[in-house]
Amino acid sequence: MTKHPNGVWIWVLSKLRSDYLDKLVERRATRVYLKVVDGASDPMFWGFQCTPEVVQQFKSRGIEVYGWGFHYGTADVDAQVAAVRQALDCGLDGYILDLEGHVENVSTHPRVEALLLALRPLVKPGTLGYTSFAHPGFHPRAPWRILDQHCDIALPQIYFELFTFRPTNEEEVQACLESQRQAGLTKPMLPIWSSSPDAPQPASASELQCYLRRFPGSSIWRLPHVGEVGGKAWVLAYDSEALVVAGSEQLSELPVLTRMLRRGDRGKEVKALQKALNERGLNAGPVDGDFGPLTEAAVKALQKQAGITVDGIVGAETWGALGGSFEFDPTPGETGLRLKLANLAQQEAAKGLGWTGPDCEAEKYLKPLRKPMQDRKHIGTKPVFYNWCAAFVTWCCREVGIQIPDAPDGFWATMALVESWKFWAQKKGYWHPTGSITPRRGDILVFEWFDGDVALDHIGIVSGYTAGEPVIRTYEGNSGNRTASRTRLIANVPGFIRIMPE
């Protein structure tokens, strides 16, 4: 039986720190999962980062290289096989298929099976795997039987730091593992733990290290790119016997934050803040518990790196960028619903869901507005595709308790139309033209692509923004018929919707 060491995933090799090989050796990594194929790319094979020379560089340092690629259950099976074959010819030690949400459409299942049957003789025995949803009970239409039958290993994406369905991370992990067993899956499970650079409540380094040790063969998604703040992958040790990370890059654990921190504040939480900033190379001054000008400047530097609002005030976003958790209403006088909205939108964006038919998971966004649209004779009774960016925002708002009507009083269209959102927001006093406010996480923004018409074209939810920058980060639905995290130009944003408590 193949022995599987702990590993770490790589998305874009060229965006890593230049000394990534030295750092991987220092972190005692002996396996990486390198992206080599994307079924939606042209070409599918990522030859710009998967070459015999690159693979050999890893191997010369004692690091196995497994390739991985996105697969969508599409009909171009031969093209996918050819792309994987090109990757394997570079000397890969194994291959992992990342099955996207499209395969929840049962019509894709024969194509998934045909792909696996074609790949089986090309990949070394014991090294063909799949990665997909963490909890099969939530995704019963995925081709679990086919995957279990034809693959050697399963790498469920147990991204507990992004989940909210159980009270604790450990309960979520156990629920996912139990669901895998209940689904009758028999292949060895090598969980993937998320250490996302922009997670709202990131897992701590010690927590991730504990899971790596408890589950030999598990891995971390992913090595952060240069400039990304929050991911812990570079400070973990990847040998299964490691308990904690030793050395100069070990990061202190932060206490749970229970208040906003700003210039002039004092106390233990300020001291922890200063220590954490200094450990990350941001000069916060002496660790004396006094939030002075040096500490404020270091906070602003962190916020700029993280792409969040630069104001020098430590709230939920900034504390989360340092790897801490929080238990307070991050916006005094408000309900905190906007933060909940952004966190939910982030979770949904990470799924990359696309609408492929009435039985797919993304239908949950479109379905609530179908009947109101049918009643107005805007669509027929058949559940077909419609532009669903606004339906995504409507669904997210309602899920966190924000009351959104099917249609604004006095307007002709439902909230499936972006113009309806502007009309409703203006009536409620929520509308703010660009330049009148500083966008914050959880605000809603609308787009006009300057295509010569007067109608708004798109809508999303703000992920983060640095004042004065020309771009803004978003979570969106129907971005190329997928939920996604995007970076957009402020020049294309005519206004923002900031929902306030009733």
For the chain, the structural domain boundaries read: 7-235, 268-321, 337-497
Whole-number pLDDT of residue 502: 56
For residue 458, give every residue at least 6 positions away whose Cβ sits within 8 Å of its Cβ, in sequence order, or none: 389, 418, 446, 447, 449, 476
CATH 2.40.50.140 at 268-321, yes or no: no
* pLDDT score for 119: 98
Q: Are 464 and 485 in contact (CB under 8 A)?
A: no
CA–CA distance, 455 with 40 (Å, rounded to integer): 30
pLDDT averaged per 10 residues, the chain (length 502)? 87 95 93 97 96 97 97 97 98 96 95 98 97 95 96 96 83 90 93 85 78 88 87 83 37 76 90 86 86 92 71 80 64 61 88 92 96 94 94 96 94 96 95 90 89 78 82 91 89 92 62
CATH assignment of 337-497?
Answer: 3.90.1720
pLDDT given at position 222: 95
Per the listing, tokens 């509308």 go with 431
Residues with Cβ < 8 Å from 20, sequence gap 6 or more?
13, 223
Say how far apart CA 475 and CA 460 lie, in whole Å. Answer: 6
Bond from prior residue into 43 cis (ω within 30 degrees of 0) = yes
Residue 148: the pLDDT is: 96
SS (H, E, C) 93-146: CEEEEEECHHHHCHHHHHHHHHHHHHHCCCCCCCCEEEECCCCHHHCCCCCHHH
Task: Name the one residue in this structure whose structure tokens are 């900031």.
Answer: 498
Which DSSP string corresponds to 208-268?
A: HHHHHHHSTT-EEE-PPPTT--S--GGG---STT--S--STTPPPPPPPB-S-B-TT-BSH
Nearest to 182 by CA among 134, 137, 131: 137
pLDDT at res. 335: 44
pLDDT value at position 332? 42
Number of H helices, E strands in the chain: 14, 14
Q: Are strands 7-10 and 219-221 parallel, antiparallel or unpaired?
A: parallel
pLDDT (0 to 100) of residue 307: 57
CATH superfamily, with its number, for domain 7-235: Glycosidases (3.20.20.80)
Beta bridge partners of 94: 66
SS (H, E, C) 421-472: HHHHHHHHCCEEECCCCCCCCCCEEEECCCCCCCCCCEEEEEEECCCCCCEE
pLDDT at position 83: 98
β-bridge partners, 487: 473
